[in-house]
Structure 1
Amino acid sequence: MQDYEVSGVDQSDDPLVHFALFSDCDPVTFQDAVKDQKWQKAMDEEIAAIEKNHTWELTDLPKGQKSIRMDVKSAFLHGDLQEQVYVDQPLGYVQQGNVKKILIVCLYVDDIIYTGNNSAMFDDFKQSMMIEFEMFDLGLMHYFLGIEVAQTSAGIFISQKKYVREMLDKFQMANCNSVTTPVEHGFKLIKDHEGRKVDNTLYKQIVGSLMYLTTTRPDIMHAVSLISRYMENPTQLHLLAAKRIFRYLVGTINFGILYRKEGNFGLLGFTDSDYAGDPDDRRSTSGYVFMMGSCVVSWSSKKQQIVTLSITEAEFVAAASCACQAIWLRRLLEELHYHQQGPTPVYCDSSSEIKLSKNPVLHGRSKHIDVRYHFLRDLTKDETIDLIYCRSEDHVADILTKPLKLAIFVKLQRLLGVCSMENTI
């Protein structure tokens, strides 16, 4: 063996000489690592593990604080840190836009409520408003426009107990006997041309008062929608139907909606219809529900504007209306920087409806359906929504389209998140 020496070359200022020692080792810089698919995959997995374990949260760097850049291995992140440590985001994985500050302000005459995702912004907004106007800070919201809010460890509970009591007193129904459902199972309300007329103004006041209550009581939405169809010529039959809703409220004054803290907060919907449910004009009723987490955030019960010729058509019309609301809600959530991943699931109990929205071959059998409802196919194709089959007994939107038996009504009421305040403790 002989040793060989390279002479005549000045190596002191050439950095490549030092890196030559690592030519067969791990990449030294990020730029080198991203060129290798193996290392790119390893970095992706590392970041995914960090996000899964909620190792850090994005925030603005406070004044007076310094950030550090470090190589964090998830294997050493199972201990609890007592100190606050600010770390720069890794190269190549800097998330833009996820830390945008949001402040939502609601103003009604001289009452203001606000919410958002940054406590410092709350303080700045509050101070700026107090400088400009004479006002008082009442703390966390407890009451606003007739809606009572209770913020507990279980979540946020909204109700209208005080409003219900005042309404019952106003219409002299506070001492009536209670019933378990707002509409009797199988009951059909008709125009009743031969019935005894009642005070038109009084009836409209009742309907209007009950309509505002549906803000926190989706369980009476269908019943209120039903009696609202007869405001022009109400009779004693219609007034008795309205009074039954009051009797139901007597036994459920403390009910409201509980928005729990835990759960999957992705948007999902339910759509249903009651085919030819109106005896007078044989129009169907559309109903939809949208939920985030374990509670309802949007709901509707409305008679369709056309006469449908089949159950499939009625369901398809209802699904199209539901899809419009899904698009609006998705856009609203995007404005709040809460982007939905993938299509919004929409559950229905009609397999024919699902086939019709996905299979253009059936077009020849569905020409009687108005063309404007066929945009549902495009939404399905574009993966904006995804129609999924759901059993009727688990279909939440059923409570918004027809009178139900007590057991089913109570079950769907619970699935909506409607309960009494006592059940939240």
Structure 2
Amino acid sequence: MLTISFIESFFLEAFQSVGGRIRQREKGRYEITSVPFAVRSRDMQIGTGTPVLDRYERICFDKSFCNVQGKPQADLIAPGHPLLEATIDLVRERNMDVLKRGAVFVDDNDYSSEARLLFYVEDTATSYAISEIVPAHVSEVRQRTVKRVDKTVKAVKDRLTAEIQFWDFRAGELKTKEAAGKVNAKLNSDMAARRADDLQARMQKRLAELEQEKHISALPPVIVGGAVVIPRGLLDKLMGRPALFGADAAARRRIELAAMKAVMDIEASLGFAPADVSAQNKGYDIESKIPAELRDADGTTLRFIEVKGRAKGATSVTVTKNEILTALNGQEHDQFILAIVEVDGDGTHTRYLKQPFHKHPDFAATSVNYDIAELVSGATIILER
């Protein structure tokens, strides 16, 4: 699921890239002074609901910022909002050639030597929008659509056939009057006959369109784009450079494992139930479940802990963009903990930091290096042992 901070980071960059003008006003709230015509035009093509406006007095990405006392109400920009959908569609179209060419990414946090492939895949369906195609769902949609189309076909035939018959009769009536010398300057028999013919053609076209709607079938997934992900370890090896951790990779791994064990042990000693989710790339390493009897009044059930193990004496720590955005996300913000663990042989010194980050990383950044002392001084230490 997309987090609030990821949506905010993407939209701010994407909207300005297509010519939009946006500026921050109150905390978590922005004013859009101009929505480009290209975005509004794209909404006219793909939109089905509320149209995109020329400007927005306030927008936000977290629903808690929608209503601020004494300030204008803000539109919540989230998946499904016409402004976001039109912007995404326009950016994707303009960069489709890049997707088709593919890209090469370097994972600076992976010191292994095994490359990976990343694909952007679209699932679509003919004549009907289906987000997740499965045979049972397609069958259900087909039955519902056929029933609706048959009902519409009957209504179209009844209405247009009645109009065609009217104008056929009117053409004959006018022709009889014209033969008797009674000419109608505004409407003659040829005009009435053409109206009947036009209605006939219109009915045939509409019936053909309705028949086409019955033909629903799932299309195979389409690969729209792809990328090769090169781990830093492989890149260093191919370029003949000593890896950053080189011969000390095993020591670095020992530090990481010691740090994870220290935090898992602390969580267990506090009565929580920690689970290692570091392999799932969630933006944190540990999900720690809070039992009912230890929950605060707000009912929080989980703690999200990102663990950073550092050798004794280290002065800096690297945090990925994913981890920072997860920490800043509205849903997980209050539950996020950055655990900095100093490892000295068999001993560890652990500090839990709440609200360690205060601003979003640059859009193009993949990670940020922090001075540990400054990071600690700007956060709230909730545990140290």
Normalised by the length of structure 2, the TM-score is 0.22
How high is the TM-score relative to the length of structure 1?
A: 0.21
User: Per residue, is there more strand in 1 or in 2?
Assistant: 2
